[in-house]
Amino acid sequence: MINQQAHLNPKLFDQDIEKVPTRDGFGEGLVLAGESSPNVVALCADLTESTRMQSFRDKFPERFIEVGVAEQNLVTVASGLAAAGKIPFCASYATFSPGRNWEQIRTTICYNDQPVKIIGSHAGISVGPDGATHQALEDIALMRALPNMVVIVPMDSIEAKKATMAIAATKQPSYLRLSRDKTPVISTEQTPFQIGKAEVLAEGKDIAIIACGQMVYQALQAAEQMKEHNISVRVINCHTLKPLDEKTILEATDECGAIVTVEEHQVTGGLGGAVAELVCQKFPVPMKIVGIANRFGESGESEELLEKFGLTTKEIIHAITTVLRMKPT
């Protein structure tokens, strides 16, 4: 049952639901952040249009820095800007940033505690035809392991906009993961968003699905379909992977007694890892992690790849039935 307090898109289960890439929401949010603070600056590594930084560049050219195809420089120049009072957003594809410049992020941003915002676009298998080299499936693990880093994976373009404005207002190093492909607009402007606060989008008591990014939509679809089988599924949008909302997750483990996590990332080190680390130490319950099973992606259309790599409503339902069988009666 959809949580009315979440104010989701009334057309959530319609065939013609509007689809917008999360990177578009970031682009809008960055302009708004730039309007609200003169200290917000943007840096890009030769991907200004596809990371949606062009609106900010056109509106605030004096606050935009093009570093060329140089991701190590991207984040270290940003660290210097932050040290001098700026709030830098640096954008590239997630395989390159934070893929290629991890040590620079670790030393000059996280250990140095500078408020640099790393924007990793084109994350996940849904990048599509560009193939495995451009499909970041390990970026959450890379960022989640770093002390001081905030990690956010928005479920849709509206949430990406809110998240962008929210991280601009904090002093913490932050990673925002975005996708290339158009994905369903699940939320509305009224949907609550707070860093570190997971949202229950659908109420349920038999099992909880904890998802992030575009997989939240598949999770809601799965919950809807499980109604027919009289199984009540709670759906949690865990947009902030770090710091993890322990309270909401532990409430779910306590009240539902079984968990499935879903993410467009390797099954190691991502959302499933974060939830498992928490749950196994504080409230162990049967659990299954749905994600990319320790392999690289390939070329293909987004839909085809999600199907091939098991990121579908069908796979989530399969995981639900498996976990329910593990649940003590």
Nearest CB to another protein, comparing residues 31 and 262: 31
Contact between 72 and another protein by CB under 8 A: the answer reads: yes
Q: Which stretch binds another protein (CB under 8 A): 10-18, 83-91, 237-245, 307-315?
A: 83-91
CB neighbours of residue 282 within 10 Å: 12
Residue 149's nearest CA partner among 161, 158, 140 is 140
Q: How far is the C-alpha of 94 from the C-alpha of 130, rounded, in Å?
A: 13
Q: Sketch the per residue contact string, 198 through 237, with another protein: x for CB under 8 A, - otherwise.
A: ----------------------------------------
Instruction: Specify whether 71 is catalytic.
Output: yes
Q: Are strands 207-211 and 259-266 parallel, antiparallel or unpaired?
A: parallel
Find the binder of another protein among 23, 52, 63, 134 (CB under 8 A): 63
Backbone dihedral angles phi then psi of residue 159, each to the nearest 5 degrees? -70, -35
Q: Does 112 bind another protein (CB under 8 A)?
A: yes
**Applying CB under 8 A, does 192 fall inside the site for another protein?**
no
Q: How many CA atoms lie within 13 A of 129 on its CB side?
A: 1
Question: How wide is the angle at C-alpha 279 spanned by C-alphas 278 and 283, nearest 5°?
Answer: 125
Decide if residue 70 touches another protein (CB under 8 A). yes
Cα–Cα dist 222/132, whole Å: 27
Stretch that binds another protein, among 60-68, 207-215, 241-249, 276-284 (CB under 8 A): 60-68
The Cβ of residue 190 has, within 10 Å, a number of other Cβ atoms equal to: 10
What is the DSSP secondary structure assignment for residue 276, as one 8-state letter? H
Does position 35 bind another protein by CB under 8 A? no
Q: Which segment (3-11, 70-78, 241-249, 281-289) binds another protein by CB under 8 A?
A: 70-78
State which of residues 1, 58, 111, 170 lies at the interface with another protein (CB under 8 A): 111
> Is position 107 an interface residue for another protein (rule: CB under 8 A)?
yes
Q: Is 204 helix (H, G, I), strand (E, B) or coil?
A: coil
Q: Which is nearer to another protein, 74 or 306 (CB)?
A: 74
Contact call for residue 76 and another protein (CB under 8 A): yes
Least distance to another protein, CB of residue 73, Å: 4
Catalytic hit among 71, 199, 264, 315? 71
The CA dihedral of 229, 5, 216, 168, to the nearest 10 degrees, is: -170
Q: Rounded CA gap, 180 and 140, in Å? A: 16
Using the 8-state DSSP alphabet, how is residue 171 labeled?
S
Q: What are the residues binding another protein (CB under 8 A)?
A: 41, 62-63, 65, 67-68, 70, 72-73, 76-86, 88, 103-104, 107-108, 111-113
- Annotated active-site positions, please? 71
